[in-house]
Structure 1
Amino acid sequence: MKGKKFFEERTDQSEVKARIVAKYFATWAKVVMPSAEKADKKIAYIDLYAGPGRYKDGAASTPLLVLDTAIGNPQIAKMLVAYFNDVDQNNTATLQEEIQSLPNISTLKHAPIVTCGPVDDDAAEYFNATRLVPSFSFVDPFGYKGLSLKIVKGVIKDWGCDCVFFFNYNRINAGISNPSVKHHMDALFGEKRAEDLRNKLPGLSPELREAAILEELAAEIKSLGGKYVLPFTFKNSNGNRTSHKLIFVSKHFKGYEIMKDIMASESSVVDEGVPSLSYSPADASMPLLFSLAQPMSKLRGMLLKDFAGQTLTLDQLYESHSVGKPYIKKNYREALKELEDAGKISATSVKGKRRKGTYPSHVRIKFEGET
C-alpha cells in the first residue's frame, strides 16, 4: 500500500465548501435524473482537483461525500458516472484507496474513474468538444493556475450541466497586476476584461476592488453561456477581508434557486431572515456588526418601486427580482405578507379561495399604481 497523503488541515471554510457542493449534488441529481433516464441513463459528477479524499483528522472531503450520497440512493447509484482528477499522483493513489474502502462502493453500477494529469488547454478543448451527459462539475484549484473559464464554458454547455468553482480571491487580487502571471489572469477573465481590471483597480478601496473583480468575472461567465452566477464569500478569521469565493454557474433559474437556498443555510449571518451568502469565523463573536442593515425594509421598498403598476405571481416576481440579490423565496413571502397587511398590495386567487398571507401559483399579486 502506498503511503497515505492527506489534506493537512480541515478549516471551517473547507467544511462549509464541502457541504455546499455535496448538498447541491444530491438535490441536482434528483432534478435531472427523470429526464436523464429517458436519454443516456447516466448523470456525472466531475471533480478536476479532487485531492486525496480525506483530511488529516480523517474527515471525508468532497469526493467521498458525493460517493456516499450516491451509495445511499439506489437511483443515483445506478446512473452516476463519477470522474475524479488531480495533478498529484500521491493524491490520486490515496483517493483510489479511500474510494475502494467505502462501504458498499460495489453497489455503484459505474466504478468511479480516477485520473492524474494537469487541467490545461487540452482539457478545455476536450470539454468544449465533447457532449456531456447531465453533469455537476467542481473545479477547486490551488490559487489560479488551471482555473480557466474555457473549462467552465465546456462543462456547462450541455443540458443539465452546472458548475461550481473555488476562487482564491487573495491570490487573484494580488495577481491581476503581476506581469509574471498575466497569462493566468487572461485565461480567467479574458484578455480584454483582465486589461480593463488592471486599468480600473489602482486607487480603489478594498470593497470596490472586490466588487469590480467579481463584476468582471460574472460578466465573462455570462458571455460564455452561464446565465446565472452566484457567489458565496469566505472571510478571513477577523471577518474584515475576503479570502475566497465559491462561484456557482448555471444556465437555469431552478439551479440558481436551489443553490441559493443551500448557500443561505450555510451562511454564518442571517439578518432579519436574510442570509449573508458568506461565511466568516468572526461572525458569531461580532453580531452587532451585522445587525444594522435592515434588509427586509429595503426589500419591501424595492418591491413597491420595481413592480409599481404590475400584477404577477410570487414565482414570476422571485425569478425576475432575486437574481444578484441575497434574498431567498421565504424573504419575498414575508415581504409580500407585510405589504398586504399594510394595504399596499392586494392578492387575488384565480382558482377559488386563498388563505391570507399565502401566495401559491394561482394567486395574482397586484401592486399599487396600476391603471
Structure 2
Amino acid sequence: MAGSDPKDFFKQQPEAPAIKAEVLPPFFKSWVEARQAEETISVDKPLLYLDLQAVPSSTPEVAATASHKLLKNLFISAGSRYDANKAVQPVFLDGSKAGLQQLQEQVEALPFYEDLHHKPVFLHSPETIGWVKEQLSQGTPAFVATDPFGHKLAQDLWHLALEQGQSDFLLLFEYKRLASAFKTAKEGSALATLLGDRLPKIREFFLRAGHASKKEKFALEQFKESLLDREFQTSTFKINAPGKDQTQFYLLLVSKNELAHTRFKEQLLPYCEYQEDGVALFGANQKAIKVLVPEYYQYLPFSQMKLTQDLAQKAALFHSMTLEKIYQKHNVGTPYSRENYLTAFEKLKEEGKITLLNPKTGQVVYKLAFTCRIKFKKE
C-alpha cells in the first residue's frame, strides 16, 4: 500500500498492472482457502491460476509485479495448512509473444523458482494452449485474472472457463473498452455468445441514450446480468480518476462462492470512502452525497437504514441462522461491512424484533456477537 492510508494508492491514478499487483496476490490467498474449504484438492489435480494479461515488468523492479508477488506467496505457503504451492498450477499468457517470453525469463530467474512445486506454464505454443483448454473443458477449477475485452485468445479462454462453470474470475478493465467491445462484437464471438439477446438491446440503448453515464450504467448491468444467468454473482469495485466523477477502471469478482465475495469486499473496504451512516461507497475516489435529513437514506442504493429494513423483511429466510451465516449469505454484492450488520441487529434487538440465542445451548443471551443464533419474532 502506498502511504499510511490505503486510499492513497488510488489517488496516484495507478495503471492496470499496478492495481492488479496491489489487489490480486493478497486476495488469491483467500480464494485458495475458500476453494480448499469446499473441495478435495490433490497435488495431481491442482487448481489453475490463469493470468491472461500477465505483462512482464517494464522496470528492474520485478518484485512489484502481480506475477512475482503471487508466485512468492505460493512459495511462502509451502508446508502451511493452506499449501497453495502444492494446490495451484500457475499459467501465464500475454497478448505480446515478446512480452510473454520476457516474463518467462523474469520468472525463471526468481531465487525461489526451483522450489515452486508446479512450475509455471507459459502459453507460447499450440501444445500448451491445447493443454489449458483441455483442463478447463474437464472442469478443472481455475482462478482467471483477465481483461474480458482483451486479445482474442484471452477472451476465448475466459469464456471457456465461464461456460464450464467451475472457475472464478477477477476482471479488471476500462469502461471504454467495454463500450467499444459491445459495439464491435461479431456474431459467434465469445462476448456475443455471453450476452446473447442482450447485445442488440445494448446497442439500441446506446443509440437512444444521450448521457454517457446512463450508457455506462446500463451496459455494466447487462454484462453482470448475463453472468448471473450462468449463476455467477458479481462484486463490483468502481475506480474513479482522482478528483473526477469519471470511471477509470472496473474491478469485478465473478464467482459462485459466497466466502470468496465476502473476503474480496473485506480486503477492499480500507480503500473506500464512506457515507455519513458508515456504509462504504464500494470503490475508489468516490464522492458521498451529503444527507441533510435521515429519511433520505432510503433513496440511496445502500444505507444502514435499508440494510436494517431488508434484514427484517427477510426474517423467514434468515430465521435461526447465526449472525455470521446471515452476513456471509446476505452481504454478497453489497458494500455492507461486518460493523454494518452489528449495527443493524442491535437496532432490531432494540425494536424487539429478534431474540439472541446461544448457538450450542439455545439459551437466550443479551450480548450480540457473530456467533449468536438469531431468532426473528413473528409479527
Fold equivalence (TM over 0.5): yes
Q: Is the 8 A contact 1:169 1:245 kept in 2?
A: yes
Matched-pair identity in %: 21
- Stretch of structure 1 that moved more, 339-348 or 76-85: 339-348
In the TM superposition, what whole-angstrom CA distance separates every residue of 1:94-135 from its partner, at most 9, and x where no partner exists?
2112212322221111211122379xx989965653331x32
Displacement after TM superposition at 1:45 (Å): 0.8
Query: Pick from 19, 23, 32: which aligns with 1:20?
Result: 23
Q: State the match for 2:99 in structure 1.
A: 91
SS of alignment partner, residue 176 of structure 1 = helix
RMSD between aligned residues: 3.5
Q: 1:204-219 to 2 correspondence within 5 Å?
A: 205-219=211-225
Q: Distance in 2 between matches of 1:48 and 1:99?
A: 16
Gaps of 5+ in 1: 1-9
Query: Do the aligned partners of residues 254 and 152 (structure 1) sit closer, same or farther apart at CA in structure 2, a change above 3 Å counting?
Result: farther
Q: Does 2:177 correspond to 1:171?
A: yes
Displacement after TM superposition at 1:259 (Å): 1.8
Query: Pick from 266, 283, 289: which aligns with 2:271?
Result: 266
Q: 1:219-368 to 2 correspondence within 5 Å?
A: 219-223=225-229, 225-269=230-274, 272-280=277-285, 289-290=288-289, 292=291, 295-307=303-315, 311-313=319-321, 314-349=323-358, 351=361, 352=363, 354-360=365-371, 363-367=373-377
Displacement after TM superposition at 1:329 (Å): 3.3
Q: Is the 8 A contact 1:55 1:61 kept in 2?
A: no
**1:68 is aligned with what amino acid?**
K
Q: 1:173-212 to 2 correspondence within 5 Å?
A: 173-177=179-183, 180=184, 182=186, 186-187=191-192, 189-201=194-206, 202-203=208-209, 205-212=211-218
Displacement after TM superposition at 1:235 (Å): 1.0
TM-score with structure 1 setting the length: 0.78
Q: Does 2:115 correspond to 1:140?
A: no
Q: Distance in 1 between matches of 2:238 and 2:42?
A: 37
Q: State the match for 1:157 in structure 2.
A: 164
**2:172 is aligned with what amino acid?**
F
Q: State the match for 1:5 in structure 2.
A: none
Q: Is the 8 A contact 2:240 2:248 kept in 1?
A: yes
Q: Is the 8 A contact 1:156 1:226 kept in 2?
A: no
Gaps of 5+ in 2: 1-11, 298-302
**1:327 is aligned with what amino acid?**
Y
Q: Distance in 2 between matches of 1:188 and 1:181?
A: 10
Q: Distance in 1 between matches of 2:275 and 2:72?
A: 30
Displacement after TM superposition at 1:269 (Å): 4.5
Q: Is the 8 A contact 2:50 2:142 kept in 1?
A: yes
In the TM superposition, what whole-angstrom CA distance separates every residue of 1:295-340 from its partner, at most 9, and x where no partner exists?
2233223333443897342245335533332213332122112332
In the TM superposition, what whole-angstrom CA distance separates every residue of 1:267-297 from its partner, at most 9, and x where no partner exists?
35565442222112xx5xxx6x455485223
Query: Do the aligned partners of residues 54 and 330 (structure 1) sit closer, same or farther apart at CA in structure 2, a change above 3 Å counting?
Result: farther
In the TM superposition, what whole-angstrom CA distance separates every residue of 1:233-280 from its partner, at most 9, and x where no partner exists?
111233301122112111222222222222323335565442222112
In the TM superposition, what whole-angstrom CA distance separates every residue of 1:194-226 from its partner, at most 9, and x where no partner exists?
111111232253443222112211121122x34
Displacement after TM superposition at 1:47 (Å): 0.6
Q: Distance in 2 between matches of 1:269 and 1:149?
A: 38
- Stretch of structure 1 that moved more, 168-177 or 78-87: 168-177
In the TM superposition, what whole-angstrom CA distance separates every residue of 1:155-212 from its partner, at most 9, and x where no partner exists?
57365x31112232123225534xx555569537524211111112322534432221
Q: Does 2:65 correspond to 1:66?
A: no
Q: Is the 8 A contact 1:189 1:216 kept in 2?
A: no
Q: State the match for 2:110 in structure 1.
A: 102
Query: Do the aligned partners of residues 237 and 39 (structure 1) sit closer, same or farther apart at CA in structure 2, a change above 3 Å counting?
Result: same
Q: Does 2:87 correspond to 1:79?
A: yes
SS of alignment partner, residue 28 of structure 1 = helix
Query: Do the aligned partners of residues 204 and 125 (structure 1) sit closer, same or farther apart at CA in structure 2, a change above 3 Å counting?
Result: farther
- Stretch of structure 1 that moved more, 98-107 or 34-43: 34-43
Query: Do the aligned partners of residues 152 and 22 (structure 1) sit closer, same or farther apart at CA in structure 2, a change above 3 Å counting?
Result: farther
Q: Is the 8 A contact 1:53 1:95 kept in 2?
A: yes
Q: Is the 8 A contact 2:353 2:376 kept in 1?
A: no
Q: Is the 8 A contact 2:308 2:345 kept in 1?
A: yes
Q: Distance in 1 between matches of 2:92 and 2:317?
A: 52
Q: Distance in 1 between matches of 2:162 and 2:149?
A: 19
Q: Distance in 2 between matches of 1:62 and 1:226?
A: 28
SS of alignment partner, residue 334 of structure 2 = coil
